[in-house]
Structure 1
Amino acid sequence: MQDNNDFPVGTPGKKWSSDDKAQWLALQSVKRSYTADVVGQIEALAAQFEILNYGELTYDNTEYPLYALKSKHWDSTKPAVLITGGVHGYETSGVQGALRFASTKAQAYSRDLNLLIAPCISPWGYETINRWNPNAVDPNRSFYSGSPAQESAALMALVKEFEFVVHIDLHETTDSDNAEFRPALAARDAIEQKNWEIPDGFYAVGDSENPCHDFQAAVIAAVRQVTHIAPTDQQGMIIGVPITQQGVINYPLHKLGLCASVTNAKYTTTTEVYPDSPKVDSENCILAQVAAISGGLDYLLSVTK
């Protein structure tokens, strides 16, 4: 179990005050560039996509424009697909996987599908390698009306005008989840957090209210061609949740305010890769994300044609 007794911010047994959150924020620092790593790649895709500037975040006098890539020839007779990455900015392959798919695979699918790709929903989190935003709010628990996270609210405003059939949300599960982020959560909320065994490999999270078993199976099958699928722990679970098939668990997406609940898409999945595995490198993680998207879209095309 994780408690907040050893975390450097806050008072054990008490939820964080605004001063505690300010102290936590003062400990964060920029470690990489959203402009160089992400915006540059988006701008390079201007010939293939319409680039949407769907909002702007301002934190500590720094402005972060929010971008999405939209199929240039949007056709309302085609199924629409939403691909999101970087809800948790520290999860690198989610961001880079969305961009890699856009630059290498998207045009082939654009013949039959409309694509909207939001590769980096949380740019401050990307730059500081953080799960939260500067207000110590987790955007991936904030997809609901009156959201406290600007990042989540901006995406909800963007997608509300579209009807999507598929939404694939790209994530990672890292060693820092147990080492850093769950201790921070325990300290912030003054609630003990149960650590789980970090799964060594790829897994997917479906919706317990709409599990889409065949769709999840197609994602897993595609990823298996690129990297290994996470085994269960000794209790037959992945991150404390029973599997529904190899490499798949389900969460109540809407109840938890998760990004994959942001549309009414028939098929949804959240990908999770493990970049700290000795069996992979950053490139393999990116390719696993691309494979997950391709597997899901190939399944969609197989049931709609």
Structure 2
Amino acid sequence: MKREHNYPIGTPGTPWGDDEKAQWLAQQTIKRSYQEEVVTKIDALRDRFDVSQYGALSYDPTKYPLLVIKSRNWSNDKPTALVTGGVHGYETSGVHGALMFADTEAERYAEHFNIVIAPCVSPWGYEVINRWNPQAVDPNRSFFENSPSEEAASLMAMVKELGVEILVHVDLHETTDSDETEFRRARAARDGLDHFEEMIPDGFYTVGDTENPQPELQKAIIDSVRKVTHIAPPDANGKIIGSPITQEGVINYPLKELSLCNGLSDCTYGTTTEVYPDSDKVTDQECNVAQVAAITGALDYVIKQLD
């Protein structure tokens, strides 16, 4: 359904220029601390994992280092599993679910995989609780060569420098009420387009790759997560956020075509998780646990395929 919105920035029907983007940026404020809430948790893992810096955001390199957590006893004889969180910095459980997985579960999977965790790909977005970076660029539409997003470009370079093939990639996200009340409206205004309202699904779902959907992997993740939280139902048209479901709680996107994070490699087993933190049925902690359950569900499934 089309909705007429006069977003407070720009002229309806006209894409933003530099002035509008500067106006948008001036309205962003720091609401939480990446250093205190994320970096301190990563630092606490240094005695158990190899933690390194793979870059820093030019907006403030000291404040926004980009950090990666790797399992020890790295071996090229083991497959590599990548976990990414905070590609959209405002999606809180993506960040803290990745950190919880590192702290509580990652070591037991290191027997089977080299584990690589980038828990907060967009630390500025984390602090201002926004989907975009300061240039009004969406990092999760920017995973391509010569990317305009420092966040995406830095992550792609780090993965390339690993020098290994990624077998499994779990990218942790949320779908929030603010997607509809703010971010989709802002995107339409930025691009000079109409805004079409979409239902926000109440529950967890995954996004597979249209070109490599791996339905059994997605099912294993859904079955793991349903022990923690509820699975999103489709709307009256059998869709979730405008896409037809392929099975309970699963939709597919053309990941590489859309330049999404989960399409950054040619992994065999890939998924994007979507937690709904605004539901009155869940707590913040349960959202984090659901992300962990998604990762472990995926890894347990892949281990069975490798046996």
Q: TM-score, normalised by structure 1?
A: 0.98
Q: What is the aligned partner in structure 2 of residue 115 from structure 1? A: 115
Match of 1:246 among 221, 224, 248: 248
Q: For the aligned residues, what is the CA RMSD?
A: 1.2
Question: 1:1-305 residue pairs with structure 2 within 5 A?
Answer: 1=1, 5-59=5-59, 63-160=63-160, 161-305=163-307
Whether the aligned pair in 2 keeps the contact of 1:4 and 1:184 (CA below 8 Å) is: no
Distance in 1 separating the partners of 2:155 and 2:127: 19
Whether the aligned pair in 1 keeps the contact of 2:208 and 2:253 (CA below 8 Å) is: yes
Whether the aligned pair in 2 keeps the contact of 1:2 and 1:186 (CA below 8 Å) is: no
Whether the aligned pair in 1 keeps the contact of 2:56 and 2:62 (CA below 8 Å) is: no
Distance in 2 separating the partners of 1:214 and 1:12: 44
Distance in 2 separating the partners of 1:5 and 1:228: 32
Cα displacement (A) at 1:8: 0.9
Cα displacement (A) at 1:192: 1.2
Cα displacement (A) at 1:162: 2.6
Q: Report Cα offsets for 1:218-272 as digits up to 9, x if no partner.
A: 0000001110000000001100100111000000000000000011110000000
Cα displacement (A) at 1:4: 7.3
User: Structure 1 259/24 Cα, relative in aligned 2: closer, same or farther at 3 Å?
Assistant: same
Whether the aligned pair in 2 keeps the contact of 1:2 and 1:182 (CA below 8 Å) is: no
What amino acid is aligned across from residue 69 of structure 2 in structure 1?
A: L
User: Structure 1 264/79 Cα, relative in aligned 2: closer, same or farther at 3 Å?
Assistant: same
SS in structure 2 of the partner of residue 165 of structure 1: strand
Q: Report Cα offsets for 1:170-203 as digits up to 9, x if no partner.
A: 0000000000001100110001132211000000
Distance in 2 separating the partners of 1:60 and 1:244: 42
Structure 2: stretches of 5+ with no match in the other structure: none
Q: Report Cα offsets for 1:23-71 as digits up to 9, x if no partner.
A: 0000000000000110000000001111120000021686410000011
Whether the aligned pair in 2 keeps the contact of 1:3 and 1:191 (CA below 8 Å) is: no
Distance in 2 separating the partners of 1:164 and 1:194: 36
SS in structure 2 of the partner of residue 256 of structure 1: coil
What amino acid is aligned across from residue 38 of structure 2 in structure 1?
A: V
User: Structure 1 11/236 Cα, relative in aligned 2: closer, same or farther at 3 Å?
Assistant: same
SS in structure 2 of the partner of residue 54 of structure 1: strand
Counting matched residue pairs gives 305
Structure 1: stretches of 5+ with no match in the other structure: none
Q: Structure 1 residue runs of 4+, over 3 Å off?
A: 1-5, 60-63
SS in structure 1 of the partner of residue 195 of structure 2: coil
Distance in 2 separating the partners of 1:7 and 1:242: 29
Deviating more after overlay: 67-76 vs 84-93: 67-76
What amino acid is aligned across from residue 208 of structure 1 in structure 2?
A: T
Distance in 1 separating the partners of 2:60 and 2:224: 42
Distance in 2 separating the partners of 1:297 and 1:192: 40
Deviating more after overlay: 8-17 vs 218-227: 8-17
SS in structure 2 of the partner of residue 177 of structure 1: helix
